[in-house]
Structure 1
Amino acid sequence: MTKPQKLLWLALVGLAIFLFWWQLPPKLEQIEIQGSTMGTYYVVKLVVPDADAVDGEAIKQQIDARLIDLNRSMSTYDPESELSAFNQSDSTEAVVVSNQLGFVLDEAIRLGELSKGALDVTVGPLVNLWGFGPEGRPEKVPTDEDIKQARVRVGLEKIELSGTGLRKFNDGVYVDLSAIAKGYGVDEVADLVLHLGFANAMIDIGGELRVAGYNQQCQPWRVAIEKPVSTERAVQQVVDVSDIGMATSGDYRNYFEQDGQRFSHTIDPATAKPISHKLVSVTVLHPSSMTADGLATALMVMGDEKGLAWAEAIELPVYMIVKTATGFEAKYSAAMAAYLVD
């Protein structure tokens, strides 16, 4: 090797070493903020260059304040919330609602119409009748007459949202936003931390998620879809996600049994009874966790066959778990395939 060739070789080696080190991801740290809200937990993970430079307690105070405000607006478990005041009122005159309550209601109504009533936030009287609301479980399964009386108070046509004015056309209407409010909370916390300058984050409220950017290894966030068993925490499927919301609806934890029959907390507005098909879990991806939350409930009501066909038609990433005689079967839409980890 001549001297010029040797010098060129050394230069190329040096350039290769420089490029290798330049391409290495920066060393990042993760801080975790935890709390409780909406009857469940929340966890916020922030990926940062220097954890010591972040005042986690100050961020937690802002998160808690935002979630407390949200609950005061749309919780049915708080008898003094804005939504509870509407539900308790006998008036059929329009009332002015806050921007956030109006925003969530507007999306709930839109998804209700899109799903042809599978998502119906006026299903509250039936949710309460079957014992899955603030009043707790009744001592016996409702009679057909009980269901008939509650059913006349259910239906999206029984409410109207116009601007910031909300009215009911039946004094017994009861709006329940539990199928969408948790996802909205996730979006609000995500927007808060992004506004504070944290580009890489995961927000989890009771299993509803939104992720931004990348994890501590500078990779997409890796999230597990839970196996639908109530006896343990087990993984069914892992997905890689970034800059997206994720929500799961299932009937394997919130139910009751009576006389050997299992009653799911998911009420089908069409039958006014708990769902009885074999779909036990639905996971949806959407830029908005609120929208994913509402769509997951709608699909849970539809069942696997109708629901998967609908998801395919609107190109929605959906992962379903169906109970079979031999265990569980997974089904997913074409749009979900790109997110699945082998």
Structure 2
Amino acid sequence: MYSSPGKRSGRTFMFIALAVTAATGCDDPGRGNPPLGGQTMGTQYQVQTACLPRPPDLAAAMTALLEGIEAQMSTYREDSLLSRLNRAPTGEWLDASTELLDVLEPAQTLSAMSDGAFDVTVGPLVNLWGFGPMDAPDSIPAPGDIAAARERVGYQHLELRRPAGVRKHRELYIDLSAIAKGYAVDRMAQLLLGEGCASFLVEIGGEIRVHGRKSGGAAWRIGVESPDPEALGDVLRVVQTDRIEGIAMATSGDYRNFLEFGGRRFSHTIDPRTGAPVVHRLASVTVLHSSTLWADGFATLLNVMGPTEGFDLAEREHLAALFVERTDTGFSQRATSEFARYVSPAINGY
């Protein structure tokens, strides 16, 4: 269900070259707004701004914001708030933070909506299969080990209360990597808007949000990357960002992040309901939303549920989603009616 820093790059995949170079309007140093960027959450982030002048000390503010989020939500830092929560005894309320609840509450909503296909307590299974902070195993986990890990999974055993309380009713290990990057992008967008900058593109590991227009008035353009290993970098669809004020996009797929055991390829996408990587033929799911957090979470949820169950939920919830599925002859696309409102027709022969 989640990928880890340093393993086959990020979880969300789109044509970043289109999104942050040719398709942006603030990569012209002559306009005084060179892009900002750096490392965060085991991946890279970029910020493009088309507001003049750019807010002072923006780079330092972004760094501080992202550091604060990692200090709360990283499973790779033993001193993070989330790591302390994972080690906390069951049955006791832990003083958390409003930021952590701002992520956990939507996660619980997604879990209930999907009957557990999305579940941030899936951490024991993620770690068991080698997609977490621990080293990857040398072989497929034994059925008994999978069963034991599943005993430590279950969003129903996590209780939240405002303003900032979390309680576990059984031993749980929470992993927020399916939703935390989206949350961080939203927080970066809020920082920019709060500084009076209403024209920007923000991206972390492929999770992306745009607002306003480029310098010169043209719309931002972001593209959905093909999952075909023979055509990585090809663009399947271009999102028409001028059709909505402020749009976020996230993609969940298995074509860049996987492990191999005995010649068999296993997706990093773990189904909490089975305890194993998904086995359907879905290659990727892209979701458009007004919130990157929700786009991020829904993309993972739909990818776990698969091309049939996931598509039905996306249509029922009026989600803008694109499903790319492997076929015997290549790949096929299936877009929800809502997704079709914001994108170009299929291109590059797909």
How would you bin the TM-score normalised by the shorter chain?
A: 0.7 to 0.9
**CA drift at 1:254:** 0.9
Structure-1 residue corresponding to 2:208 = 209
Q: How many residues align?
A: 311
Which amino acid in the other structure matches residue 129 of structure 1? L
Q: 1:290 aligns with which of 290, 293, 304?
A: 293
Counting only pairs closer than 5 Å after superposition, residues 120-159 of structure 1 correspond to structure 2 as 120-159=119-158
Query: Would you tell me which structure has more helix in proportion to its own residues?
Result: 1
Contact 1:282 1:296 in 2 (8 A): yes
Which amino acid in the other structure matches residue 197 of structure 2? F
In structure 2, what is the Cα distance between the partners aligned to 1:98 and 1:48? 32
**CA drift at 1:217:** 4.2
Per the alignment, in what secondary structure is the counterpart of residue 334 of structure 1?
coil
Q: TM-score normalised to the size of structure 2?
A: 0.85
Residue by residue over 1:311-342, the C-alpha shift from the partner in whole angstroms, topping out at 9 and shown as x without a partner, is 11111100111111111111100001111124
Structure-2 residue corresponding to 1:254 = 257
Structure-2 residue corresponding to 1:13 = none
Structure-2 residue corresponding to 1:160 = 159
Contact 2:129 2:136 in 1 (8 A): yes
Q: TM-score normalised to the size of structure 1?
A: 0.87
Per the alignment, in what secondary structure is the counterpart of residue 145 of structure 1?
helix
Q: Does structure 1 residue 324 correspond to structure 2 residue 323? A: no
Structure-2 residue corresponding to 1:3 = none
Task: Provide structure 1 residue ranges, at least 5 long, that are not aligned to the other structure.
Answer: 1-26
Task: Provide structure 2 residue ranges, at least 5 long, that are not aligned to the other structure.
Answer: 1-27, 346-350
Structure-1 residue corresponding to 2:348 = none
**CA drift at 1:143:** 0.5
Decide which structure has the larger Cα Rg and report it.
1
In structure 1, what is the Cα distance between the partners aligned to 2:177 and 2:102? 15
Contact 2:211 2:246 in 1 (8 A): yes
In structure 1, what is the Cα distance between the partners aligned to 2:36 and 2:273? 41
Contact 2:239 2:344 in 1 (8 A): yes
Which amino acid in the other structure matches residue 291 of structure 2? S
Counting only pairs closer than 5 Å after superposition, residues 1-342 of structure 1 correspond to structure 2 as 29=31, 30-49=33-52, 53-54=53-54, 58-163=57-162, 164-171=164-171, 173-230=172-229, 232-241=232-241, 242-342=245-345
Per the alignment, in what secondary structure is the counterpart of residue 48 of structure 1?
coil
In structure 2, what is the Cα distance between the partners aligned to 1:61 and 1:328? 43
Runs of 4+ in 1 over 3 A off after TM superposition: 27-31, 53-56, 229-232
In structure 2, what is the Cα distance between the partners aligned to 1:268 and 1:140? 19
**CA drift at 1:300:** 0.3
**CA drift at 1:230:** 4.6
Per the alignment, in what secondary structure is the counterpart of residue 179 of structure 1?
coil
Structure-1 residue corresponding to 2:16 = none
Per the alignment, in what secondary structure is the counterpart of residue 123 of structure 1?
helix
Contact 1:31 1:47 in 2 (8 A): no
Q: Which 10-residue stretch deviates more, 239-248 or 39-48?
A: 239-248
**CA drift at 1:220:** 2.7
Identity of aligned residues (%): 44
In structure 1, what is the Cα distance between the partners aligned to 2:206 and 2:298? 15
**CA drift at 1:92:** 2.7
In structure 2, relative to structure 1, the CA distance for the partners of 1:105 and 1:55 (3 Å cut) is: closer
**CA drift at 1:89:** 2.4
